């Protein structure tokens, strides 16, 4: 199987490339080389590669910045997906990563894949538009995997932001009224390869690590486990605050836990709880002190 990976230099794309299964020929392209908002460049690469599958980890993901530059967000997350559909053979499968931000957070039980969508901001709306293009224009060959609260040992994410702040500040204040599920990029990468191996799977699926937490819970766990792994020298106080006390340009869903039972049934795989996944990532950071 020949697979083209888009967004190869992102935190998820790197994990996908690192976990490529035996027997798979992978052609990995960063957004600098293959920009979804440049259809001509995308088509040239796809015409040359002629892949059996495209794994699309490329996206505009700057949630707050999207509010001030919606054209850029839609150019990548909507129009780029349309260009991907147009630039691939009718025989090429598309495995596309989407987000919990398609929901408004008004629910109090985990969101099923067919739950009503209502994005609160430009980022979520642009990602939803990309989903709708795939299901309208290439439903028989598209598989969409929504995820949430993604992090890795490297890159710009909540984990690394918290570790930096815990090393440089005497105390932290972290939002405690937004609930979701921290998700290791490594775990998601492995699940994407499981989807890649089952070409009959189409439509929408959800994947995160197991369990749920608030950002405050996640921060406290990071502090505790990082101390255990020798990544921090001291424990600092972490205080819970409300979303209203930490305003951002883009609204966040207050609740975005995703129901994964459809994925469990399709893959026969449940993954691990978010605390165990966090421990594994921190252990990796201990082995890679420069990350």
Express each pLDDT in 15-57 by its tens digit: 999 999 999 999 999 998 999 999 998 999 999 999 999 999 9
Measured distance CA(82)–CA(38) in Å, rounded: 11
Measured distance CA(287)–CA(256) in Å, rounded: 32
User: Is 151 annotated as catalytic?
Assistant: no
- Verdict on whether the full-model pTM lies above 0.85: yes
> What CATH code is assigned to 2-148+183-210+258-272?
3.40.50.720
The C-alpha angle with vertex 20 and arms to 16 and 26, in degrees rounded to 5, equals 90
Q: What is the mean pLDDT of residues 210-234?
A: 96
Q: What is the mean pLDDT of residues 170-175?
A: 97
SS (H, E, C) 145-185: EEECCEECCCCCCHHHHHHHHHHHCCCEEEECCCEECCEEH
Question: What's the pLDDT tens digit per position in 98-124?
Answer: 999 999 999 999 999 999 999 999 999
Percent pLDDT > 90 in the chain is: 95
pLDDT of the residue at 118: 98
Per the structure block, which two tokens stand in for 127? Answer: 């990602």
- DSSP H helical segments within 24-144, as ranges? 39-49, 70-77, 79-87, 122-137
Question: What's the pLDDT tens digit per position in 55-72?
Answer: 999 999 999 999 999 999
pLDDT of the residue at 285: 85
Contacts of 44 (CB under 8 A, 6+ apart): none
Q: What is the mean pLDDT of residues 257-272?
A: 97
Measured distance CA(33)–CA(38) in Å, rounded: 10
Measured distance CA(44)–CA(87) in Å, rounded: 9
Q: Rounded to a whole number, what is the largest CA-CA distance in the chain? A: 56
Kindly name the residue from 60, 74, 111, 123 that is annotated as catalytic.
123
Measured distance CA(156)–CA(2) in Å, rounded: 30
pLDDT of the residue at 111: 98
Tokens 């989807």 sit at which residue?
195
CA distances from 181 to 5, 142, 184 (A): 25, 25, 10
Looking at per-residue confidence, does 290 or 284 come out higher?
A: 284
* Mean predicted lDDT score pLDDT of the chain: 96
Tokens 């009718």 sit at which residue?
90
pLDDT of the residue at 286: 75
Is 175's pLDDT higher than 90?
yes
């Amino acid at each position: 199987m020949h697979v083209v990976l888009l967004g190869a230099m992102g935190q998820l794309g790197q994990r996908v490339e690192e976990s490529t299964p035996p027997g798979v020929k992978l052609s990995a392209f960063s957004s600098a080389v293959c920009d979804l908002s440049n259809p001509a460049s995308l088509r040239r690469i796809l015409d040359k590669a002629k892949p059996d599958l495209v794994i699309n980890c490329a996206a505009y993901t700057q949630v707050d910045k999207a509010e001030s530059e919606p054209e850029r967000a839609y150019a990548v997350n909507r129009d780029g997906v349309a260009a991907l559909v147009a630039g691939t053979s009718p025989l090429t499968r598309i495995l596309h990563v989407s987000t919990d931000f398609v929901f408004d957070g008004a629910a109090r039980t985990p969101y099923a894949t067919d739950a009503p969508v209502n994005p609160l901001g430009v980022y979520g709306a642009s990602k939803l538009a990309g989903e709708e293009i795939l299901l309208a224009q290439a439903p028989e060959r598209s598989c969409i995997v929504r995820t949430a609260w993604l992090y890795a040992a490297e890159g710009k994410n909540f984990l690394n932001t918290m570790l930096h702040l815990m090393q440089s500040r005497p105390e932290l204040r972290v939002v405690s009224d937004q609930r979701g599920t921290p998700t290791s990029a490594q775990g998601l990468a492995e699940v994407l390869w499981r989807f890649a191996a089952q070409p009959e799977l189409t439509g929408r699926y959800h994947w995160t690590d197991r369990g749920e937490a608030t950002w405050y819970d996640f921060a406290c766990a990071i502090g505790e486990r990082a101390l255990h792994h020798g990544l921090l020298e001291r424990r600092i106080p972490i205080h819970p605050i409300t979303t209203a006390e930490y305003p951002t340009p883009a609204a966040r869903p207050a609740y975005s836990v995703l129901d994964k039972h459809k994925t469990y049934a399709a893959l026969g795989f449940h993954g691990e709880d978010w605390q165990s996944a966090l421990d594994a990532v921190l252990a990796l950071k201990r082995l890679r002190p420069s990350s």
